[in-house]
Amino acid sequence: MLFNSYEFIFVYLPITFFIYFYLNHKKLTEGSKGFLVVSSLFFYSWWNISYLPIILLSMFFNYTIGSYLSKCTDANKYIFSKLILIFGIVANILLLGYFKYTDFFIENINLVFDSDIGLLHLVLPLAISFFTFQQIAFLVDSYKQEIKEYSFLNYAVFVTFFPQLIAGPIVHHKEMMPQFANIRSKVINYKNISMGLFIFSIGLFKKVVIADTFAVWATTGFDTATTLNLFEAWATSLSYTFQLYFDFSGYTDMAIGLALLFNIKLPINFNSPYKSINIQDFWRRWHITLSRFLRDYIYIPLGGNRKGNIRTYYNLMATFILGGIWHGAGWNFLFWGFLHGLALVVYKVWSSYGFKLWTWLSWLITFNFINITWIFFRAQNWDDAMKVLGSMFSLNNIVLPKFLASKLSFLEKYNVEFGEFTVNIRGDMSIVIWLFVGFVLILLFKNSMEKLKSFKPNIINSFLFVFTFTISFYKLSGYSEFLYFRF
Residue 401 backbone dihedrals phi, psi, to 5 degrees: -60, 150
Please pick, from the candidates 64, 73, 224, 309, the single residue that binds another protein as defined by CB under 8 A: 224
Sole binder of another protein in the list 19, 461, 480, 485 (CB under 8 A): 461
- Asked if residues 52 and 44 have their Cβ atoms less than 8 Å apart, the reply is yes
Minimum separation from the CB atom of position 113 to another protein (A) = 27
Which of 177, 63, 58 is closest to 126 using CA atoms? 58
The verdict on 2 binding another protein (CB under 8 A) reads no
Task: Using the Cα atoms of residue 257, residue 482, residue 437 and residue 336 in order, give the sign of their dihedral.
Answer: positive
Active site residue 327: yes
Residue in 76, 359, 406, 458 binding another protein, rule: CB under 8 A? 458
219 binding another protein? (CB under 8 A): no
Contact 208, 176 (CB under 8 A): no
Give the whole-angstrom CA distance, residue 52 versus residue 1: 14
Q: Does 454 bind another protein (CB under 8 A)?
A: no
From the list 55, 156, 476, 483, which residue makes contact with another protein (rule: CB under 8 A)?
476
Of 14, 474, 481, 486, the residue at the interface with another protein (CB under 8 A) is 474
Find, among 309, 315, 334, 320, the residue nearest to 282 by Cα.
320
Least distance to another protein, CB of residue 474, Å: 4
340 within 8 A of 320, measured Cβ to Cβ: yes
Of 92, 424, 447, 448, the one binding another protein (CB under 8 A) is: 424
Q: Which of residues 149-168 bind another protein (CB under 8 A)?
A: none
Q: Kindly name the residue from 172, 287, 327, 340 that is annotated as catalytic.
A: 327
List 9, 167, 225, 400, residue binding another protein (CB under 8 A): 225
Helix (H, G, I), strand (E, B) or coil at 126: coil
Distances from the Cα of 270 to the Cαs of 134, 169, 284, 447, 482, in angstroms? Answer: 18, 10, 9, 9, 16
Query: CB of 330: closest distance to another protein in angstroms?
Result: 19
Please name the helix (run of DSSP H) or strand (run of DSSP E) that holds residue 372, with its range, or none.
Answer: helix 359-378
Closest separation between CB of residue 133 and another protein, Å?
Answer: 33
Number of residues that bind another protein (CB under 8 A): 31
465: contact with another protein by CB under 8 A: yes
CB 36 within 8 A of CB 161: yes
Per CB under 8 A, 235 contacts another protein: no
DSSP state of 426: T
The answer to whether 227 contacts another protein (rule: CB under 8 A) is yes
Q: Which helix (H) or strand (E) holds 399?
A: strand 399-401
| Binding region for another protein (CB under 8 A) | 6, 190-191, 193-194, 197, 220, 223-227, 419-420, 423-424, 426, 457-458, 461-462, 465-466, 469-471, 473-477
* Residues labelled catalytic: 327
